[in-house]
Amino acid sequence: MRGTRFGIGVDPEDGLLSQGDQGYALTWMDAKYGEWIVTPRRGKAVEINALWYNALCLLAEWVEFRLEDKEKSRHLKTCAEQTQRSFNRRFWNANLGCLYDVIDGEAGDDVAVAQSKSLLSRFLIRF
């Protein structure tokens, strides 16, 4: 899957969405004041990837049952399965018992914890 502006794209290694160009605040949690990015979250944000997984699942079902395109649906289901496995493996921080906020960010994996996002993201990822 090809990406778009602002460094948004799927990492072919794990199927997770990555985002972030220098100087832009792209997720709903980012804050920017003038040119200062107060809460930089470049990398793979937890809530974006939970929503990405669900979008893949819903699209796969829609393509199969509305468009009757079984081949494309299989491809989307395979992408969703890879995303789910990667999400569960990469975002879970076993030491703290919560999800990382951002992985593969500028400073590595961000251990900042936002409980509401962690709960939402775990709810969105089907086990």
pLDDT at 84: 96
Q: What is the pTM of this model?
A: 0.80
Q: Which two tokens stand for residue 104?
A: 């593969």
99/121: higher pLDDT? 99
- How would residue 74 be classed by pLDDT, with cut points 50, 70 and 90? very high
Q: Rounded CA gap, 42 and 107, in Å? A: 10
Q: Between the CA of residue 3 and those of 10, 92, 109, 115, what are the distances in Å?
A: 7, 25, 22, 29
SS3 assignment for 89-123: HHHEECCCCEECCEEEECCEEECCCCHHHHHHHHH
Q: Which residue has the tokens 């999800």?
A: 99
What are the tens digits of pLDDT across the range 77-119? 999 999 999 999 999 988 888 889 899 988 888 877 655 455 5
pLDDT at 29: 65
What are the tens digits of pLDDT across the range 9-66? 999 999 999 987 776 666 666 666 787 766 678 899 998 999 999 999 999 999 999 9
Give Dmax (Cα) for the chain: 49
- CB 41: neighbour CB atoms within 10 A? 25
